[in-house]
């Protein structure tokens, strides 16, 4: 739940801000939505029909546990989708 520090051998992309459930979340170009959420300390961003929290499980687009709504499009896999400046992400709680 953290970013590995930049070093002379390694630097992240440019900083961007995405909007998650109405609140700004700092991220870096090249990260995925799931990466940015996990780096901020958030482990779960979905709730199942039975109210169970879920976050990232498989990390490679197979399990569909990490779904979010992105700029109005639903069922987007957070683990595969790169962040972009101003991207509007809704976790399942706020999806109508």
Partner 1 sequence: MTEQVEIAVVGAGPGGLCAALAAAQAGAQVALIDNNRHPGGQYYRQTAREFRGAPSSHQREGAALLQQAIAAGVRIIAETNVWGAFDDKVLALNDGAATTYLQARAIILATGAYDRPVAFPGWTLPGVMTAGAVQTLIKEQRILAGKRFLLAGTGPLQLVLAAELARAGAQVVAVLEGSRVFPRVLQHAGALWNQWERLSEGLSSWLTLARHRIPYRVGWGIVAAEGAAQVEQATIARLDGNWRPIRGSEEKIACDTIALGYGFVPFNTLSRLLGARQEWRPELGGEVPARDAQMQTSAPGVYAVGDCAGIGGAALARVEGQIAGSAAAAQVGHGTADAIPARASALARERRFQRMYAALFTPGVGLYELSQDDTILCRCEEITQAEVRHALALGADTTNEVKLITRGGMGDCQGRMCAHLIAHFIARETGRSVAQVGMLPPRPPIFPIPITALGVTR
Q: Residue 27 is encoded by which pair of tokens?
A: 């991220």
Write each residue from 19 to 48 as x if it is in contact with partner 1 (CB under 8 A), else as -, in one continuous string: ---------xxxxx--x--xx---xx---x
18 binds partner 1 (CB under 8 A): no
Write each residue from 57 to 86 as x if it is in contact with partner 1 (CB under 8 A), else as -, in one continuous string: xxxxxxxxx-x-----x-x---xx-x----
d(CA 57, CA 6): 26
For the bound state, the minimum distance from the C-beta of residue 34 to partner 1, rounded and expressed in Å, comes to 8
Size of the site for partner 1 (CB under 8 A): 43
Q: Which residues of 23-56 are buried (b: 16+ CB within 10 A; e: fewer)?
A: eebebbeebbbbbbbbbeeeeebbeeeeeeebbb
Q: Residue 24 is encoded by which pair of tokens?
A: 């700004």
3 binds partner 1 (CB under 8 A): yes
């Amino acid at each position: 739940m953290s970013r590995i520090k930049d070093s002379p051998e390694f630097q992240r992309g440019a900083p961007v801000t995405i909007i998650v459930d109405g609140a700004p979340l700092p991220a870096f170009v090249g990260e995925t939505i799931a990466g940015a959420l996990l780096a901020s300390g958030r482990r779960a961003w979905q709730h199942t029909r039975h109210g169970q929290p879920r976050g990232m499980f498989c990390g490679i687009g197979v399990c569909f546990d990490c779904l979010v709504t992105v700029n109005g499009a639903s069922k987007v896999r957070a683990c595969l989708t790169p962040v972009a400046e101003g991207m509007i992400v809704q976790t399942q709680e706020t999806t109508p």
